[in-house]
Amino acid sequence: MDIRELSLPGVFRVTPTKHADHRGHFYEAFKREKLAETIGRPLTIEQTNCSVSRRGTIRGIHSASVPPGQAKLISCLRGAIIDIVVDIRVGSPTFGKYEVNWLDGHSGSAVYMAEGLGHAFLALTDDTCVNYQCSTPYQPDIELHVNPLDPELALPWGLTEPPIISAKNANAPTLAEAADKGILPTWDDCLALYEKLGAPA
| Residues 175-194: tens digit of each pLDDT | 999 999 999 999 999 999 99
What is the arithmetic mean of pLDDT over 8-34? 94
Instruction: Give the β-pairing of 98-104 and 80-86.
Output: antiparallel
CA distance 46 to 56: 29
84 closest CA partner among 153, 15, 164: 153
CA atoms within 13 A on the CB side of 163: 23
pTM for this predicted structure: 0.94
Q: Which of 28, 30, 48, 26 is nearest to 39 (CA)?
A: 30
Q: Domains of the chain by range and CATH? A: 2-197 (2.60.120.10)
Residue 201 has what pLDDT? 44
Contact status, residue 155 vs residue 133, Cβ threshold 8 Å? no
pLDDT given at position 198: 84
pLDDT tens digits for range 75-127: 999 999 999 999 999 999 999 999 999 999 999 999 999 999 999 999 999 99
Quote the CA–CA distance of 24 and 21 in Å, as a whole number.
6
74 Cβ neighbours under 8 A, 6+ residues apart: 83, 103, 110, 111, 112, 113, 119, 121, 130, 131, 132, 133
Average pLDDT over every residue of 29-52: 94
Average pLDDT taken over every residue of the chain = 96
pLDDT digits (tens, 9 = 90+) for 47-69: 999 999 999 999 999 999 999 99
φ, ψ of residue 169 in degrees (nearest 5): -75, -40
Q: Which residues of 123-156 are buried (b: 16+ CB within 10 A; e: fewer)?
A: bbbeebbbbbbbbbeeeeeeebbbbbbbeebebe
SS3 of residue 50 by DSSP = strand
Catalytic position from the list 98, 112, 132, 194 = 132
The answer to whether residue 132 is catalytic is yes
Q: With H, G, I as helix, E, B as strand and everything else as coil, classify residue 35.
A: helix
The per-residue pLDDT for 118 is: 98
